[in-house]
Amino acid sequence: MQEEIVKNIILGEDEDYIINMGPQHPSTHGVLRFEVSLQGERIKKVVPHCGYIHRGIEKMCERDTYAQIIHLPDRMDYLSAHINNEAVCLCVEKALEVDVPERVTYIRTILDELNRIASHQLWWCAMGMDMGALTTFFYGLRDREKILDIFEESFGSRLIHSFNTPGGFMHDIHPGFQKRIKEFITYFRQKLPEYDRLLTNNVIFRERSIDIGTLSKDDAIQYGVTGPSGRGSGFSCDVRKIEPYGVYSRVEFNEILMTEGDVMARYKVRIAEMYESMRILEQLVDNIPAGDYSAKMKAVLRLPAGEFFQRVETARGELAVFIVSDGNKSPYRIKFRSPNFSNLFIISKLAEGFKIADLVAISGSLDLVIPDIDR
C-alpha cells in the first residue's frame, strides 16, 4: 500500500501537477496568468486568468467626450496604437458623415502600415528571444527604432502618439516624413532577408515551430481567431480586403494566407506581411495629395442617436469599435472588440498535448498584447 502511494506520487499519475505561468512571466509580455495542468512534461489543460490590467476603458469612455476618447484605445494595443486611434476616428466620422480630406486618408494608411511593420518587428524579436535566440532581439529593435524615429519627428512621441482626432490630425506631418519613409524602405528591404537567414532557417527554431500548436481553419473561425494567427490557418479575415477603409481599395497588395496552421505558418505570415506593408508604402509615399490636414469640425462633437460599427485590421487581427449614441457629447456605450481577447482563448486548445516549453512558442506565435485583452 505504502509503496503504491509512493509510486503514484513519483509517476504523478493520480493527480495533475499545476504550474502558474505568470502573471509576471517574461514570455507572456504582460500580466497574464496561465494555470497549466501538467502530466509529466505534457500539458493537459491551460486555463488563462486575466484581469490583472483591467482598467475599465469602456466605462471611462462613457464619461469622456469623443475628442478625449481617442486617447484611450491606443492604451489597449499599444503596438498598434495608431490603428486603434484610427478605428475610433473612422467610427465617429462615419456617424457624423464627415468628408475627411484625401491627404488625411493617405497619411493614415501610410501610418497604419508603418505601425504594422513596427509591431511585427517587435513581435519577431520577442518571439526569437522567448525561444532562446537573443540576437533577434537586437536586430528587431534596431530596425524598429527607424520607424519610431519617423513617428517621433512628426508627432513628438514614439509609441502612443494620439495624433488622430475625429476629422483628421492634430497638426500636419513633418516636411521630412516622405524622405524618411523612403530611406527606411531602402534600408529595411536589405535587412528583412537577414531575419530569414538568422531565424527562419535555423534548425532549432524549425524543430520547435513546425507542427507545433496546429490550428485548423474551422477552429479559427469558431474561436474568432483573426489577423496573422487566423490567416496562418487559411481563414481569410483581412478587413483591409473585406471592408476596405482608408485607401486600401486603391492599392495593390496580397492577403497572405497559409494552410498549415502551426507556429511556423503564423510566423511566415507575419514575415510576408512586412513585405506586403512595404509594397503598400511604396505605392503611397510619393502620392500624398496636398490639402488640409483636418476637416472642419465643431468644438464639441455630438453624434446622432444610433449605433455605429467600424472594423479595422490591426497588426494582431480585427478590431471592431461599436458606438451606441443617444445624441449626447459622450457615447452611451462603447464596445471594443479587441483582437487579442478572441485570440487568447484558443491557447487551451492549441497547447493541449504539447510540452510546457511549446506553450511559450505557441503564445509567442499568437502575438498577444495583454492590455488589449483586459481593456
Positions that interact with other proteins (CB under 8 A): 50-51, 54, 56, 58-59, 63, 219, 221-224, 235-237, 242, 306-309, 311, 318, 320, 322, 324, 332-333, 335, 337, 341-342, 344-345, 374
Q: How far is the CB of 335 from other proteins (least distance, A)?
A: 4
Closest separation in Å from C-beta 222 to other proteins: 4
- Between 288 and 323, name the residue whose CB sits nearer to other proteins: 323
Which residue lies nearer to other proteins by CB, 205 or 308?
308
- Of the pair 46, 50, the CB lying nearest other proteins is at 50
Measured distance CA(121)–CA(136) in Å, rounded: 10
Q: Please name the residues in contact with 156: beta carbons below 8 A apart, sequence gap of 6 or more.
A: none
Neighbours of 274 (CB within 10 A): 21
Query: Would strands 168-169 and 333-337 be described as parallel, antiparallel, or unpaired?
Result: unpaired
Residues whose CB is less than 8 angstroms from the CB of residue 276 and which lie 6 or more positions away in sequence, other chains included: 253, 254, 256
Q: DSSP 3-state assignment of 357?
A: helix
Q: Given the complex with other proteins, which of 121 and 342 has the nearer CB atom?
A: 342
Minimum separation from the CB atom of position 36 to other proteins (A): 17
Exposure of 77 by Cβ count < 10 A (0-12 exposed, 13-18 middle, 19+ buried)? buried
For residues 59 and 250, which CB has a smaller minimum distance to other proteins in the complex?
A: 59
| Residue with smaller CB distance to other proteins, 44 or 337 | 337
Q: How far apart are CB 132 and other proteins at their closest, in Å? A: 31
User: To which residue does cell 516624413 refer?
Assistant: 177
Query: Cβ 66 to other proteins, closest distance in Å?
Result: 17
Contact (Cβ atoms closer than 8 angstroms) between residue 288 and residue 110:
yes
Matching residue, cell 500580466 = 31
Contact status, residue 273 vs residue 228, Cβ threshold 8 Å: yes
Burial of 230 (0-12, 13-18, 19+ CB in 10 A): buried
Q: How far apart are CA 120 and CA 225, in angstroms?
A: 17
Nearer to other proteins, 172 or 352 (CB): 352
Smallest CA-to-CA distance from 314 within 119, 70, 65, 59 is with 119
Q: How far is the CB of 179 from other proteins (least distance, A)?
A: 39
Task: Report, in Å, the least distance between residue 330 CB and other proteins.
Answer: 11
The nearest distance, CB 2 to other proteins, in angstroms, is 38
C-alpha to C-alpha distance for 337 and 321, rounded to whole angstroms: 6
- With respect to other proteins, which residue has the nearer C-beta, 24 or 222? 222
